[in-house]
Chain A
Amino acid sequence: MAAPKRKTDIGPPHYEQMLHPMVKKNYGKWKYHEKVKPGVLMHVSETGDKLYTIRAASSRLVSIEKIRDYCNLADKYCDGYLRFTSRNNVEFMTDKEANIQPIIDELAKMGQPVGGTGNSISNIVHTQGWVHCHSSATDASGVVKATMDELIDYFTSMTLPAHLRIAVACCLNMCGAVHCSDIAILGIHRTPPTIDNDKLANMCEIPSTVASCPKAAIRPKVVAGKKTVEVVEDLCMYCGNCYTVCPAMPIANPLNDGISIWVGGKVSNSRTAPMFSKLAIPYLPNNPPRWPEVTSAVKNIVETYAKDAKKYERVGEWIGRIGWQKFFEKTGLEFTKYHIDDYTLASSTYNSSTHVKF
């Protein structure tokens, strides 16, 4: 039997094969765009060509059957081309205005709402959660589903003061890089890993377990004649990296794991510079399957912002104008000692002025 052809280091396919003929023809020639209606964009080229994009929600975790549905739709209306966005939406592009409504109708039949453009809440960027991750403190897909079911009207309209970007990460390793989102939903462990002293030496390599800790909190130890490790609990920040290399050190703790909420981050440079999200709620319980405490907390922040912010103000810009005092007052959120930073350079977050509102 001949050995199979096996090429390495060829990289991805060239993007040109993936472009609709009208996209290829007008590459680099786009002149302007308009938001025709929520979820529908029109890009106009210097050549006069017009390209319509229909943006639809997606659960990100999709089966090949769903992808084939997308392909059927793209074959029918979009000459066999489609794309996905940086926020995991799916986009169908057509040069025929008459195709817009049929595409929207078919997406509705498939259960894919159209929206996510302009001053809306677009899809929630998220991580694997309990579906596929060992260090998750909560589920991600379920939290997203529950939250977007509540906020769907903000996805299918463009009525907010500005874009509002939500992200979910299921632990503070943040594969979802939620740290610059208007609202970040972050799974948190709050207790150090437990150590199975009986099994550790058999299951794990002690030097690599010690080395896995970013804070050097893990040390070799002998317990009842067995080689194992100990964790200096004051140093542990519950990242779960040790569990990654050593299954005898589980970090998950159903009693204490939960969710924290962060607000006011952005990545765009529009008006103000990019900003980190800051702590709004230090802990909410894990309450599957629909996390009502989390969805109502997020909804409260969204609605307070929607009512109070000026046009074009992102959440962080709104808070920048009214101040954190007013943010906590208007949202009714409790301010606690956990909100006051105590990590590196914490003093830069103290109020060193007499600017206080009464």
Chain B
Amino acid sequence: MQTNETPEYAIETKDLSIFYGAFKAVSDVNMLLEKQKITAIIGPSGCGKSTLLRAFNRMNDFVPNSHVTGEILMRGQNLYGSNIDPVEVRRSIGMVFQKPNPFPKSIYENIAWGARINGFKGNMDELVEQSLRGSALWEEVKDVLQKSAYELSGGQQQRLCIARTIAIQPSIILMDEPASALDPISTLRIEELMQELKKNYTIIIVTHNMQQAARVSDYTAMMMLDKEGSRSGTVIEFSETKRIFTNPKDKRTEDYVTGRFG
């Protein structure tokens, strides 16, 4: 549609390195992530995919002694700038976790709570309904909104977590292996949902499942440990998903996506 226009970027990393104490977990990541696209981060276990993802909404702040060098820029602002409030960062960059983690509250309250702490003043019933419709959960739960979220199945819980995330309307949604704890049917529903969400949200997803990356993403970042045995991960190739899976530049990417190792 807009192949000839300059793409708009949602977020950008510049020489981003992430440290746990003296240990460099992720080194020198430079990526431009396009708006309203799905970017998948793939790579073998322990190469820093989740660490990189968690850097985007400053979740690594909770790990003692973690720090970053370089920049993550969102509309010109460095998320790690000294005048940046991490709470505000998380309000505009939402996150869905590997294991569904709804709050031990009612289905309704799971969505209303986040909206309320974010200062939502409008019609709460409407917001809850719209969020649940947006995450394709409304039809299943509309009659049991006051029940505990823990009475839902795993797949439903994960869609509830997506619903509570979109209820606060972040500009970017991070997903950390959102379907790895779910059965194939629930996984499919989450993937369909991502396509739906992409119309209005930028999504970054970490996945172990290469078919999933190939199915859902527009861009793919391939991460791998540095050669020299430094144990720090980095993005060795970042490009359109089609290209990564059919014509990768890096031999290691090719080996990985064709299943030769990892």
- A complexed with B: no
A-side residues, CB < 8 A to B, are: none
